[in-house]
Structure 1
Amino acid sequence: MTKPTTMRRLPRQARGEQRIAAILQAAAQVFYEVGFDAATTDMIAQRAHTAIGSLYDFFPNKEAIAQRLCEQFCEDLRVLFEGILTDELVQVPLSQLIDDILDPLVQYHQTHPGFQALWLQSQGDPRLARMHQDLTEALTRKTAWIFARRYPKSDEASALRSSQICIRTVQALLPLAGDGPDLDSQIIAELKTMIQAYLQAVFGSESEM
């Protein structure tokens, strides 16, 4: 039998919203420390300093908590990338462009422990998988738009293909750096080097733009 993954009810007052925020923050920390499978609602309630009954007022199980967290992560990343992927990136040096895109993403991973483990766990949920796909497609289109204007000698198909490769590379390799505050900075540095070398090979050096 499939477990329900929706909230039991929405908060009606600020106090209820604060309780949900505390539960979600506690859940992210518990998922980070022990993993999704080992986590329990009792652990989450204890970390949130709330009664287990209060947790169940809003969430039927840990799967529903995980879904709400993933929805929050998706919205956070959408807003984050809207602020990052601006027209200014068309003119900055390539190394700065890569830093300006990756550094805020890395910082988000560092300040949101449990993101990686929970994100991988959520891929079996069709609705969350669709949210992730929509976010990836929007990010890919905007990055392709930036590439097309940075490198006017390239065609739109090349810009889109290169954007897809860069985005998928980051999604595939960033988990290797770990999760939470202890991300491996060397892996991040090598990921940046890889992307820069790839873009230079495809579009040419800065002097050839």
Structure 2
Amino acid sequence: MPEGTAEPKPRRRQARGERRIAQLLQAAANVFCTNGYTAASTNAIAREASVSPGTLYQYFPNKEAIAVELGERLLHEMREAHGQAFTPENFQLPLAELLDAVVDPLIEFNCQNPAFLALMHGSDVPGRIAEEHDELHASLLARVGDLLGQYVPELPAAERSRIADMTFVIFKGGLTLVLAAPEGPERDAIAAELKRVLLRYLDPVIRDANLTAPATRELTA
């Protein structure tokens, strides 16, 4: 193509299509947050996006297809937040600082993407999304277990798994309160309280395990 020639039309059409898809997915996220996945409809999503249902159907055949595309994008972003939180560098931090480094990115992601919980925890979400979410959940639990192993290497696997489960339940419960709070000082205060609860649960667990570990090693030597 000679220099100075305009960009091919197909590429421009593709860019417009990507913008339209992003518009529809954002509208779907808003509708899922407001109505939940089960009660949402393609007509409601089209209205939210200020387009006709016919325009929506040019890109997505049904609500499930929209949910799958939105869910996969959100899961990808969640994995990135997960990756930023559970790093080898963070695992070397004192517990209080570690909680800041791990919890803050996960809270920020969920605050910026409220559709994530609305979609992932819906009673009628597509099976493909549910399966991928279950895989992510298992991965997060495994990383919490790795974190505990970093602080208390002698902790038995069953106990480590049980503590990881409890830690995750505490986080999810606190996250619900964080998301329900208005953005600003109140939300920040609840997030700080959540980290305080996690610290008060995990610190004695880790401290007690470390205190008993030498005696255990002597008995098993």
Q: TM-score range by the shorter chain?
A: 0.7 to 0.9
Identity among equivalent pairs (%): 36
Once the two structures are TM-superposed, the CA of residue 180 in structure 1 deviates from its matched residue by 9.0
Identify the residue that residue 88 of structure 1 maps to in structure 2: 89
Listed as ranges, the gaps of 5+ residues in structure 1 are 1-11
SS at match of 1:56: helix
User: Contact 1:122/1:128 (CA < 8 Å) preserved in 2?
Assistant: no
**TM-score, normalising length from structure 1?**
0.78
SS at match of 1:83: helix
**Partner of residue 202 from structure 1, selected from 202, 205, 214:** 205
Q: Deviations over 1:70-126 (max 9, x none)?
A: 222212111221122111122212111111111111111221133322222166543
Identify the residue that residue 192 of structure 1 maps to in structure 2: 195
**Corresponding position: 1:115 with 2:110:** no
Which residue identity lines up with residue 50 of structure 1 in the other structure? Answer: V
User: Contact 1:26/1:44 (CA < 8 Å) preserved in 2?
Assistant: yes
Matches within 5 A, 1:12-161: 13-121=14-122, 124-161=125-162
Identify the residue that residue 4 of structure 1 maps to in structure 2: none
Which residue identity lines up with residue 194 of structure 1 in the other structure? Answer: V
Greater radius of gyration (CA): 2
Matches within 5 A, 1:153-192: 153-178=154-179, 182=183, 184-192=187-195
User: Contact 1:114/1:180 (CA < 8 Å) preserved in 2?
Assistant: no
The number of residues matched between the two structures is 197
SS at match of 1:50: coil
Distance 1:89 1:39 in 2: 40
Which residue identity lines up with residue 82 of structure 1 in the other structure? Answer: G
Which residue identity lines up with residue 201 of structure 1 in the other structure? Answer: P
Listed as ranges, the gaps of 5+ residues in structure 2 are 1-12, 214-221
SS at match of 1:33: helix
Once the two structures are TM-superposed, the CA of residue 139 in structure 1 deviates from its matched residue by 1.5
Which residue identity lines up with residue 202 of structure 1 in the other structure? Answer: V
Deviates more, 1:31-40 or 1:88-97: 31-40
**TM-score, normalising length from structure 2?**
0.75
Distance 2:127 2:104 in 1: 29
